[in-house]
A and B are shown apart, each in its own frame.
Chain A
Amino acid sequence: MKRVHGKTIKTITIDIAKCNGCRACEVICAAFHAKPQYSSTNPARSRIRVIRDQVADIYLPVYAGEYTAAECAGRDKYIIDGREYDECAFCRASCPSRDFFKEPDSDLPLKCDMCESDPDITEPMCVQWCLSHALVYEEREVAVDKVTAVDEVDIGLKALADEHGWPKVMDAIGRMREPLPE
């Protein structure tokens, strides 16, 4: 059975040609998330970083995404308009290969939360502080097809069974499954 429902997607469009490299986004992000709020600032704690290379004229704001425990096995390089971007430049992960998006004291991963707060604010602070409009906030509704998600699990399990056989897969699920509540 298909159940379709709406979901709000929060996006920040990043226009790197408009970035003036000032790092106000880093400053206000760190201050907003400080406890108590605004009691300190520190770009090292920011969930947005401007990757900068003034020799190559690169100014690239990147938001903190998911934590990943492992580095990528292979890396990519991007060359855009003659500028060569670092192999991890566009990646949002908090990852062992670089010191972005980690609390400097604890190394715990940081992730952009779009400044969700109570009371709610209109736009993430980095967007509000970017008077160059390199960062533009947008919300849009998307339809989410839940059945598709279930189908994906089916496909995944089938693939595993094809490779390892059902007994092995069942055994693994049994071992990994959290105990049911008493």
Chain B
Amino acid sequence: MRYAETGFNLEVDLTRGSIERVATNPRDTEQLLGGLGTNARLMWDRVPPEVEPFSPENLLVFGTGLLAGTPAPGCNRTIVSAISPQTKLFAFSIMGGFWGPELKHAGYDKVVIRGKSAGLVYLWINDDKVELRDATHFRGLGTLETAELIRQELHEPMAQVASIGLAGENRVFFASIEQGRSSASRQGLGAVMGDKNLKAIAVRGKKDINIARPATFIRHCNDALKYIEIRDKNPIPGVMPILAGLGSPQEMRENDEQWHTENFMWGNARHRRKGFWTEQIHEKWTNTMETMRTRLLSCHNCPLKCGAAISVDTRICSYMMKCFSKLTYTMAAMSDLDFGLKIAQKATEHGVDAFSAPQTMAFAVELYEAGILTDADFPGWPSDPEGRFYWLLDHIVGREGIGDVLADGTYWAAERIGKGAQAFAHNNIKKHEQLPLKLGMLNPIYFLMYSTGEKINITQIEGNFPQTPFPTKEEREAFVKDWEHVPDERFKQWFLDWEMRGENSIPNYPPIDATSEIVHWQEMMHYVDDSVGVCAGLSSFPLKPPYHLHNWPSIISAGAGLDLDEAGLKHVIRRTRTLVRAINILRGMRRTDEKPPDDHWKYRFPELETKLLDAYYRFKGWTSDGIPTRATLHELDLDHIADEFLRRGILKEEEEDAAPATALGAASASDVTAGAGGAA
């Protein structure tokens, strides 16, 4: 018997119209857990670097995390992956909601989609009965609209549906996959789904998910719930409200948006509006939120209410929103919250990413103002900012006129437009739009996270270490008192010694080696979450979460019947992280790609930045060009990747001296002998 997972994947070939139920190898679970880890293995094994994003050979994988659907609170994530049309790299975007647990209950860990259907179809998974059904009558319909019509068509009100809108059908590079209560938004996975002519996947499952060691597992679940309850009543002092608690930043509950509106940039990530947040704005926006928000909502088996049902004009719930997507349209259009929530409803139905879409629209407005695009490009272009955004949204998702160019995102649109447009696509990393944030002094921790995070999104690598130092020694000492989450005591000291000004402040503090370790820890936690399938909001993202490095090994082991200790977990996660990097290295990603936007900080330190990246690569066991070394790959049982790198000339035999043994490598090596993950 398999525990936590089902042991079966659903393999769907849309070209042939075939559907197979395929048993998976338990050895893969020991080696990579599930979710992101095993998704990455499928990508490495089956999608060579020559495969284009819009090729039938691109794999679109919906992979549930190892513990998704078990009673562990917040374990509900599905990791959606494919080669991204925008970055041309391995994209993995995570969705919560209810879809993943439903798939597990239907008896499958992943849905692996290959090929391309001749006509628009949807996949209907009803326990053992799985079929492809005609979806031509849903063409052009909204994501949530389609989901509801599918539930009606199937007479299955309990079915969970992940679907694309017009943006996905038209292969907009930032099209999302929406699931009613969550979405896989980043890097254009909806476009890959659209390219495959797959409108939706509907799931209904009524089977058991088994737990290997029930008593231990449920004790952990109860402990987590108790901790969440206590932590919820005790926000961390000295931290802004939206980051003081657990979960996703609580922007559906909190009405005070001074921090975002005055510190994040408006328009095309350009304008800082200090003093924006007045009493009147506060009152007006609170009123907007309280009129449109009908209910705070949660994902499957999670007590936190990070989402809200937003209803723009009636009592009927229109769509689910969470976190900073509340403000992205408002701020990009230089408008107000009422507009932001209203256009987001349309955008959610069309299925576009709430980071990239408004950024791309603001970019178009700037190009128009700069005279690079002209009236000829915008037939019927209204004069008000709100009207322009609606015009842009319609033209982008329909790929009409200039919308067809903009639908490729700011980087590719600028390349096509030319005439200096490239300078306006200024907020990208690896061709992907970032949070609209521009700051003063370089922060070494954030420099490394921005540069090297392979989800290409700062919120998906930051988290467990405070974003900024606390002002006083007393506050810092109070903070570390119950900070059991750190890998070891040194992390507490680095935080205690971190000052706002003077010698021990950014950019020169934390020291370079400490910076590597802090970044490594934070990133590791996100990779744990994406393999286990827990929401980052209960583990890698907030300060002092219920799940951490020291309780995960026992939780995972008890749930899935593995025998992991902390060293073993670190080793497995390092393997997954290296595998993800290997896929991207094979696709040409190198050190030159690993950099934050030039204007992210006003004060930059090229020499320091070089040293930081050198040190971090060395720490990770990568060459100075960011390529995992043969020794690293060997330690992680990834020799086949080393062989491929050598065969393709990515690594060269004589370069093998490049990286001397690293602290991390040495630690991992001893970890393995100390008893890393075998099956129970």
Per-position contact with A for B98-128: 1 when CB-CB < 8 Å, else 0?
Answer: 1000000100000000000000000000000
Question: Across the interface, do A57 and B309 meet the contact criterion of CB distance under 8 Å?
Answer: yes
Q: Which of B181, B208, B211, B295 contacts A57 (CB 8 A)?
A: B295
Question: Across the interface, do A41 and B211 meet the contact criterion of CB distance under 8 Å?
Answer: yes
Within 8 A of B (CB), among A1-15: none
Q: Which of B105, B209, B305, B309 contacts A54 (CB 8 A)?
A: B309
Q: Which of A24, A39, A104 contacts B301 (CB 8 A)?
A: A24
Q: How far is the CA of A54 from the CA of B300 in the complex (A)?
A: 14
Question: Across the interface, do A31 and B218 meet the contact criterion of CB distance under 8 Å?
Answer: yes
Chain A residues positioned under 8 Å from B320 (CB to CB) = 54
CB distance from A40 to the nearest CB of B (A): 4
Contact of A81 with B by CB under 8 A: yes
Per-position contact with A for B203-232: 1 when CB-CB < 8 Å, else 0?
Answer: 001111111001101100000010011001
B interface bracket (residues with beta carbon within 8 Å of A):
35 or more
Per-position contact with B for A138-169: 1 when CB-CB < 8 Å, else 0?
Answer: 00000000000000000000000000000000
CB distance from B75 to the nearest CB of A (A): 10
Chain A residues positioned under 8 Å from B98 (CB to CB) = 23
Contact of B299 with A by CB under 8 A: yes
Contact of B238 with A by CB under 8 A: no
Within 8 A of A (CB), among B77-100: 98
Per-position contact with B for A7-51: 1 when CB-CB < 8 Å, else 0?
Answer: 000000000000011111001100100101111111111000000
Question: Across the interface, do A42 and B215 meet the contact criterion of CB distance under 8 Å?
Answer: no
Question: Across the interface, do A131 and B303 meet the contact criterion of CB distance under 8 Å?
Answer: yes
Chain B residues positioned under 8 Å from A22 (CB to CB) = 298-303
Q: How far is the CA of A44 from the CA of B228 in the complex (A)?
A: 27
Contact of B296 with A by CB under 8 A: yes
Chain A residues positioned under 8 Å from B214 (CB to CB) = 31, 34, 36-39
Q: Which of A23, A81, A104, A132 contacts B315 (CB 8 A)?
A: A81
Find the residue from A36, A39, A82, A129 having the highest chain B CB count within 10 A.
Answer: A39
Contact of A59 with B by CB under 8 A: yes
Question: Across the interface, do B206 and A40 meet the contact criterion of CB distance under 8 Å?
Answer: no
Contact of A83 with B by CB under 8 A: yes
Q: Which of A20, A27, A81 contacts B305 (CB 8 A)?
A: A20
Q: How far is the CA of A41 from the CA of B104 in the complex (A)?
A: 11
Within 8 A of B (CB), among A38-89: 38-45, 53-57, 59, 81-83
- In the complex with contacts A20-B297, A22-B298, A55-B303 CB distance below 8 A: no
Contact of B255 with A by CB under 8 A: no
Q: How far is the CA of A20 from the CA of B208 in the complex (A)?
A: 24
Segment from B66-74, B382-390, B450-458, B635-643 that makes contact with A:
B66-74
Per-position contact with A for B290-321: 1 when CB-CB < 8 Å, else 0?
Answer: 00001111111111010001010001110010
Q: How far is the CA of A134 from the CA of B305 in the complex (A)?
A: 13
- In the complex with contacts A31-B71, A37-B214, A54-B317, A129-B298 CB distance below 8 A: no
Question: Across the interface, do A104 and B71 meet the contact criterion of CB distance under 8 Å?
Answer: no
- In the complex with contacts A31-B218, A57-B294, A83-B315 CB distance below 8 A: yes
- A40, closest chain B residue (CB): B208
Per-position contact with A for B189-202: 1 when CB-CB < 8 Å, else 0?
Answer: 00000000000000
- B214, closest chain A residue (CB): A38
Chain B residues positioned under 8 Å from A131 (CB to CB) = 225, 228-229, 232, 303
Question: Across the interface, do A41 and B209 meet the contact criterion of CB distance under 8 Å?
Answer: yes
Question: Across the interface, do A56 and B210 meet the contact criterion of CB distance under 8 Å?
Answer: no
CB distance from B67 to the nearest CB of A (A): 11
Question: Across the interface, do B303 and A53 meet the contact criterion of CB distance under 8 Å?
Answer: no
CB distance from B147 to the nearest CB of A (A): 9
CB distance from A63 to the nearest CB of B (A): 17
Chain B residues positioned under 8 Å from A31 (CB to CB) = 71, 211, 214, 218
- In the complex with contacts A36-B214, A41-B69, A41-B211, A56-B317 CB distance below 8 A: yes
CB distance from A114 to the nearest CB of B (A): 19
CB distance from B388 to the nearest CB of A (A): 30
Question: Across the interface, do A38 and B298 meet the contact criterion of CB distance under 8 Å?
Answer: no
Chain B residues positioned under 8 Å from A83 (CB to CB) = 315
Q: How far is the CA of A42 from the CA of B206 in the complex (A)?
A: 7
Chain A residues positioned under 8 Å from B232 (CB to CB) = 131
Chain B residues positioned under 8 Å from A44 (CB to CB) = 105, 205-207
Per-position contact with A for B143-157: 1 when CB-CB < 8 Å, else 0?
Answer: 010001000000001
Question: Across the interface, do A40 and B229 meet the contact criterion of CB distance under 8 Å?
Answer: no
Chain A residues positioned under 8 Å from B298 (CB to CB) = 20-22, 132
CB distance from B232 to the nearest CB of A (A): 8
Chain A residues positioned under 8 Å from B70 (CB to CB) = 41
Chain B residues positioned under 8 Å from A55 (CB to CB) = 144, 148, 316-317
Contact of B444 with A by CB under 8 A: no
- B229, closest chain A residue (CB): A131
Q: How far is the CA of A36 from the CA of B209 in the complex (A)?
A: 13
Q: How far is the CA of A82 from the CA of B294 in the complex (A)?
A: 13
- B315, closest chain A residue (CB): A82
Contact of B180 with A by CB under 8 A: yes
Q: Which of A24, A54, A59, A82 contacts B303 (CB 8 A)?
A: A24
CB distance from A85 to the nearest CB of B (A): 13
Q: How far is the CA of A37 from the CA of B316 in the complex (A)?
A: 40
Question: Across the interface, do B316 and A56 meet the contact criterion of CB distance under 8 Å?
Answer: yes
Question: Across the interface, do B217 and A42 meet the contact criterion of CB distance under 8 Å?
Answer: no
Of the A-B pairs whose beta carbons lie under 8 Å apart in the complex, a sample of 17, sorted by A's number, is A21-B298, A22-B303, A23-B300, A24-B73, A31-B211, A38-B218, A39-B210, A41-B70, A41-B208, A44-B105, A53-B157, A54-B320, A56-B317, A131-B225, A131-B229, A132-B298, A132-B303
- List 13 extra interface pairs beyond A20-B296, A56-B317, CB under 8 A: A20-B303, A23-B301, A27-B301, A37-B214, A39-B214, A41-B71, A41-B208, A54-B180, A54-B181, A82-B315, A129-B225, A132-B303, A132-B305
